[in-house]
Amino acid sequence: MQSVLNTVKGTALNVAEYLTPVLKESKFRETGVLTPEEFVAAGDHLVHHCPTWQWAAGDDNKTKPYLPKDKQFLITRNVPCYRRCKQMEYVGEETVVEEEGGDGGWVETHQMNEDGTSAELDEKICELTLDDREEMHTPNNEEPGNMDDAGAEEDDDEALDMDEFEESGMLDLVDPAVATTVRKTDKSEANKSEGASASFDTQDSVLHTRTYDLHITYDKYYQTPRLWVVGYDENRKPLTVEQMYEDVSQDHAKKTVTMETHPHLPGPNMASVHPCRHADIMKKIIQTVEEGGGELGVHLYLIIFLKFVQTVIPTIEYDFTQNFNLS
């Protein structure tokens, strides 16, 4: 049902985007939106400081006239994704960053103290106790009589002659206290060639890494950047829709992130982070910087954009851009 609603909504937004005029005057500081020219300027800044991102032209039949032909969208390829979102252990309660409107806002899944540690984690560490404490036996708590008896017994024992011990064959006996492991070999594996067997033996030790291609387009209706992702398995085969949702925060899967048609490329739908909240978040960031006495240039838009979108796809390790401080 949710996918049907997303399809209907996507179709309506495509019509609205077609009817929406191109933004000519800058409203970056007032509303957090971009003109096409500002999008290109921010893209040039991203490409310059992070060369893994490049401009792409896309399909000729889908060229947008309000953007340069060779700068239709940005792309970075083969971004690693080592873990699934469900494998991540979120420590601390979730915090709603933005709650205005009916979309529920963005969710900050990592809540830390100022020093980078988690308050909840600190409490759990303090709660750790040793239930079964073994009594420590030291010379101070041993009874003198027992110590004397033990010493007397040791004095009565004679040292073993190692030559006699070796000749008796005791070194060849297997100690039953020593654990031994024997690898079971399947008949089918035994029939394989030596090279194939070596490949099979090392297969489980290899980290199977998914990779993603990320695209940033300009959304004319929302007048903001929009992120698109397409994933591949370790054999470079495209991931299914459900597999890609495994790498999306479950607070955003099928809500903030939906499968839609790429505006510049033909082919199957791609996962996209919906841009309906981008301008509001950017506006709050601009206000925070200005309240601290700073000034945020429009050329930094995509640098900041990639950082707050990371909360949606936290296991896709694409953000190697420059650091940004709000203060």
User: Is the distance from CB of 272 to CB of 228 less than 8 angstroms?
Assistant: yes
User: In this structure, which amino acid lies at residue 3?
Assistant: S
Is 276 catalytic? The answer is yes
Burial 210-244 (b: 16+ CB within 10 A, else e): bbbebbbbbbbbbbbbbbbbbbbeeeeeebeeeeb
pTM of the model: 0.62
Is pLDDT above 80 for 318? yes
Confidence of residue 71 (pLDDT cuts 50, 70, 90): very high
> Does residue 64 surpass a pLDDT of 70?
yes
d(CA 302, CA 44): 10
pLDDT band at 246 (very low <50, low <70, confident <90, very high): very high
Query: pLDDT-derived band of residue 47, with 50, 70 and 90 as boundaries?
Result: very high
Render pLDDT for 169-187 as a digit per residue (tens, 0 to 9). 665 665 555 555 555 555 5
pLDDT tens for 260-274 read: 999 999 988 999 999
The lowest-confidence range among 12-21, 44-53, 66-75, 253-262 is: 12-21
User: Backbone dihedral region of 32: left (phi > 0), alpha (psi from -120 to 50 degrees) or beta?
Assistant: left
Query: Which letter does DSSP use for residue 263 in this model?
Result: S
Catalytic residue among 50, 81, 126, 276: 276
Residues 6+ apart with CB under 8 A from 46: 53, 74, 302, 303, 306, 321
Cross-strand partners of 161 = none
Identify the H or E element spanning 195.
helix 194-203
Domains of the chain, each with CATH number or no CATH: 35-90+207-312 (3.30.1460)
Residue-wise pLDDT tens digits, 76-102: 999 999 999 877 745 444 455 555 555
Per-residue pLDDT of 293-304, as tens digits, reads 988 999 999 999
Per-residue pLDDT band for 235 (boundaries 50, 70, 90) equals very high
pLDDT-based confidence at residue 325 (cuts at 50, 70, 90): low
